[in-house]
Amino acid sequence: MFGVTFPTFIYRPSCEALSPGSATRSNASIAGHQVVKRRAHGLGVSALVAIGQDDRQVELVNSESVASQIDAAQIELLFNKSTQLTPQAVVHFVTQLAKVSKEELALADQPRIFSLQKLVEVADFNMSRMRVVWTKIWRVLSSHFVEVATHPNVRVSHYAMDSLRQLTMKFLEKDELAGYNFQAEFLKPFECIMVGPPPVSREVKDYLVYIISYMADASFQNIRSGWKAVLHICAAAAQDPALSEATIEIAFKVVEKVNADSCYHLFLENFTDGIRALLSFAQCKVEKRPGKEAGVPDGAMGQLLDSFHWHEAKPEMSMQAISYLLKAAEKLADPQTDLPAGCSLSQDPAISDGQPAAVWFPILRGLSILVGDPRRDVRAAALNGVFDILRDYGKQIFDEDMWRMVFNGVIKPLFDDIHHQLAPQSDHKQDRLPTGRQDGHWASMGPPTCLAALTQLVRLIEAHLDVLAFLLDDVLRLIRNCIQHEFEAVARIGVEGFKQLLICTGKNMKPNSWQKVTTCILELFRDSMPTKLMEVDVKASSQLPFNKDDVVIQCVVQLLLIDMLQDAVSQHYELDP
């Protein structure tokens, strides 16, 4: 290790040097001038002291005098020769250089990047060292770069990001051996900066996404384990509400690259992270940001952002992400598809990695959550996607336990979410519509979605009644909840769904299934009987002792059940036990 001492010279305004242990100065010397701070050293003590404008002039003259007596070539040689240090020494050298760089950047008004530049050069010189040694060096460098990226001076943070980009681009030129994850470690600082803590400015995140996009284009063929970090960063960008639509679209284009047919093996190799990224983009809703925003960096980044037209949030990106999820499900159902060992998305401890639910459940649950999306096209695509996957691949892949998990963890919560959308936000009702919501929004998002979901469920039962007969009790309970809903529109939808179930599946039902159906119908007739009408005493009061709307709904349900029963009996009379 080099035995180098960095002297610190501190002068009074009269050019009289301070004593080695002194860091004091008169107030008169700084009165009326801008006060800055410099680090003073003496007798083993280090502290920040305030100096004025006169001091700065004197310090500048003396620093130029000292610099003129130093051979710049010798300074450069100090860093160039770092390649000759032992592994332990080079790690120590980089650690101490990072500490010096941290002190240089400590002052936000006048940060210096000399040591930061030298860190980049030293990293470049020593990149060919053994992987074990280089990992230790990079651990120090990455931590420092992440810290510098949060610097309040945007120029400094951008310089740190650009330095990371240069080093990463050079590292990606090397082929990665199978079974190693050095690329993922190299890209880890970008991920740390993106997700925090500590938080960074939106400008820095915009620039980071641009860098990732640039690297994905320039080094696409060389990226191996690095795709894991790239997909994490893209997913974080989609979930960040502060980022602009153009930045999120840039991130989505990166994800689209690995979803192309010619490169789909990359998506399969990073299946878990790819699915999470697609779900993030499917759920992404960005706000309108007119024109170019203040703080967006100039140059290539600014030109890239300017190439996009700002508009209201559109569903195209989410729709495309949903189509990629359906493509992933198709590949997942293919027995010839090989996924990496330990591939799992589920966070449920009851689901082990070896179960099919470990990879299927998150896709289905993610799509079911999108059924509550306010965008109609996204809502419809997600709903169709859930039941298309179950109808097309469920019979050949799922066993009884898996089907029960899907019903309790996907289908039932889906209807619970729909009912939650229909529920009033207060105890008071107005015109039988939930208060606190716009009537148009409720009308377009509530009953129609409920009807579509119930129709899809009936089609699923019809397609696989032979393997799903054990779920008939759960399905009837779900339909019953719809029929007994407090809103007439939902009650009508529930009866219509029950009617479709009987007409479509009645011919294939076994006697025990018919017994369950008839028992459910009998209970619905009993529960919806408007018995409150028989309790009215018109002589006692002019006010009805019940809510008339509730009784009206019961009467409507009675009539609808009679109509449903008539149609079912006419078609399946000979099958009814």
SS3 428: coil
pLDDT of residue 439: 46
Query: For the segment 491-538, what is each residue's pLDDT rounded down to a tens digit?
Result: 999 999 999 999 999 889 998 999 999 999 999 999 999 888 777 665
Q: Tell me the chain's radius of gyration from C-alpha atoms.
A: 34
| DSSP letter for each residue of 203-238 | HHHHHHHHHHHHHHHHTTTT-STHHHHHHHHHHHHH
Q: CB-side exposure of 363: number of CA atoms within 13 Å? A: 30
Instruction: Tell me the C-alpha distance between 221 and 263, whole Å.
Output: 10
Instruction: Tell me the C-alpha distance between 249 and 307, whole Å.
Output: 11
Please name which of 207, 213, 111 lies closest in space to residue 163, comparing C-alpha atoms. 207
Distances (CA, A) of 108 to 104, 113, 147, 435, 499: 10, 12, 14, 52, 71
Eight-class DSSP state of 537: -
pLDDT of residue 337: 84
Question: What residue has token string 């690329």?
Answer: 183
The pTM for the full model equals 0.78
Q: Given 3-state DSSP classes, what are the helix, strand and coil percentages for the chain, each rounded to the nearest 5? A: 65, 5, 30
Q: CB-side exposure of 483: number of CA atoms within 13 Å? A: 29
Region of 315 on the Ramachandran plot (φ > 0 left; ψ -120 to 50 alpha; else beta):
alpha
Eight-class DSSP state of 290: -
| Residues facing 433 on adjacent strands | 430
- 197: cis peptide before it, omega within 30°? yes
Pick the range with the lowest mean pLDDT from 5-14, 29-38, 94-103, 193-202: 5-14
Q: Quickly count: other Cβ atoms within 10 Å of residue 266's Cβ.
A: 18
Pick the range with the lowest mean pLDDT from 36-40, 60-64, 257-261, 461-465: 36-40
Query: For the segment 115-174, what is each residue's pLDDT rounded down to a tens digit?
Result: 999 999 999 999 989 988 998 999 999 999 999 998 888 889 999 999 999 999 988 888
SS3 348: coil
Eight-class DSSP state of 309: P
* Mean local confidence (pLDDT), 552-564: 93
Instruction: Tell me the C-alpha distance between 442 and 495, whole Å.
Output: 20
pLDDT of residue 29: 38
Decide if 5 contacts 44 (C-beta within 8 A).
no
Instruction: Tell me the C-alpha distance between 508 and 387, whole Å.
Output: 21
SS3 41: strand
Could you tell me which residues come within 8 angstroms of residue 187 by beta carbon, excluding any fewer than 6 positions away? 168, 226, 229, 230, 233
* Mean local confidence (pLDDT), 276-297: 69
Instruction: Tell me the C-alpha distance between 109 and 94, whole Å.
Output: 26
